[in-house]
Amino acid sequence: MTAGADVVARLTGRAVTGERPLSGGLAEVTLDDGRVVIVKRADDPGAARAEAAGLRWLAGTGTVRVPDVHGHYGNWLVVDRVMEGRPSREAAVRFGRDLAALHAAGAPAFGAPPPGGPADAYIGLAPMRNEPGIDWPGWYAEHRVLPYLRRAVGQGTLRSGEAAVVERLCEQLPQLAGPAEPPARLHGDLWSGNVLWGADGHVRLIDPAAHGGHRETDLAMLRLFGCPHLEQVLDGYQEQAPLAGGWADRVGVHQLFPLLVHAVLFGRSYAEQALAVAREALAR
């Protein structure tokens, strides 16, 4: 039995009858009662702990659906498998309503980690510090944008002169951020790959980087890399909790952090996108 299967047996209390490796450090494991779970190995035990805490924090709202968490042990996380189906307009509207309800469940502060989750968490493969703050523009600049801007400059992905554009945007965030919003309970890494369209017609969310943040951030992430039936998702969201005026003009502001993360991880093309959205926001 592999180490992952051994962890599955430990956390589920069931014997393992089969194991199938998947991509990205995942494996599909069959239990002796016929259930199938997913075991995932993280590079850092803190990442497994953060993901487990995040999934439970989202599930605790009774809004969006996530895979049931069997537990984490060391670098390993075990969750239920999601049986995937095809995206539909009906599921998208329902997901939009559920996402609005999730955000409305709130968080103690901007940057607040889920209960039991570490302050030093991750967004995908990238470190993400959950440091609480009370003012979204200042918190977003200090704890999201500027740390990755410095890393991008330090590794040569962005030039110092270019970084001044992003620094200027950070200075103007109080004017660019729109009306003040209370801290929302965010998935935190809501790109389309983390949105699974279940065979039962309900969306499941995986791989959160959950924290307290601005609700427009999750919506901006959905748009950044494309999401099936996004307009229907937004329709459902607006029915449940209308967004503040001008929200569409602020999408780029909220995309700046994930773009800088991608610039650090994957290179110059994402740095150019980050500069483009910063310049566009400043020109409005």
* CA 115/CA 66 separation, integer angstroms: 17
Would you name the residues annotated as active-site residues? 189
